[in-house]
C-alpha cells in the first residue's frame, strides 16, 4: 500500500468523495442507489457507512482519517523494525546450533577413527 491517504482502491466501486456526498445527503439519486446496492451486497461497505453515519460532524472525518493513517504508519514501522531484530536474533542461535553440530560431528568422526585403528 504505497498511498496511505486512500484506503479504498480506485478500481473499487466506491471512493471517499462518493461516501462523503452520500453521508451529507448531496449524492444524486443514481449514486445513492449505487451506494445502497453496494451496502446490501458487501458487509464491509455496510459497516463502514453505518459507522460513518454515527459521526455528528462530517467535517471532522478528514482530520480523524489523517490521524488514523499517521498512527497506522507508526505502528507498521515499529512492527517492521521488530521483525528485523528478531531475524538477527534467530540467525544468531541458528549459527551457534550449526557450529555446535559441526563440532560434534568432527569430534565423533575423530573418536571413531581413533578407536577403530
Per-residue pLDDT tens for 65-87?
888 888 888 887 776 655 566 66
Q: Which of 58, 78, 101 represents a domain boundary (last residue)?
A: 58
Confidence (pLDDT) at 11: 45
Dihedral sign, Cα of residue 43, residue 69, residue 53, residue 33: negative
Identify whether residues 14 and 66 lie together within a single domain: no
CA 12 to chain centre: 18
Per-residue pLDDT tens for 23-62?
878 888 888 888 888 888 888 888 888 887 787 776 677 7
Confidence (pLDDT) at 10: 44
Angle between helices 29-41 and 43-53 (to 10 degrees): 120
Identify whether residues 37 and 81 lie together within a single domain: no
Range of the domain at 6: 1-58
Confidence (pLDDT) at 18: 81
The backbone torsions φ and ψ at residue 104, rounded to the nearest 5 degrees and listed phi first, read: -65, -35
Identify whether residues 70 and 86 lie together within a single domain: yes
pTM above 0.75, yes or no: no
Identify whether residues 76 and 39 lie together within a single domain: no
Q: Which of 58, 85, 106 represents a domain boundary (last residue)?
A: 58
The backbone torsions φ and ψ at residue 14, rounded to the nearest 5 degrees and listed phi first, read: -115, 155
Q: Which of 33, 58, 83 represents a domain boundary (last residue)?
A: 58
Amino acid at each position: 500500500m504505497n498511498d496511505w491517504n486512500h484506503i479504498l482502491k480506485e478500481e473499487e466501486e466506491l471512493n471517499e468523495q462518493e461516501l462523503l456526498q452520500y453521508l451529507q445527503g448531496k449524492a444524486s439519486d443514481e449514486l445513492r442507489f449505487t451506494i445502497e446496492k453496494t451496502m446490501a451486497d458487501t458487509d464491509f461497505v455496510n459497516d463502514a457507512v453505518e459507522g460513518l453515519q454515527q459521526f455528528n460532524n462530517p467535517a471532522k472525518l478528514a482530520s480523524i482519517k489523517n490521524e488514523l493513517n499517521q498512527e497506522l504508519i507508526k505502528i507498521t514501522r515499529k512492527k517492521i523494525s521488530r521483525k528485523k531484530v528478531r531475524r538477527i536474533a534467530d540467525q544468531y542461535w541458528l549459527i551457534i546450533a550449526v557450529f555446535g553440530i559441526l563440532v560434534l560431528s568432527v569430534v565423533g568422526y575423530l573418536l571413531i577413527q581413533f578407536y577403530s585403528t
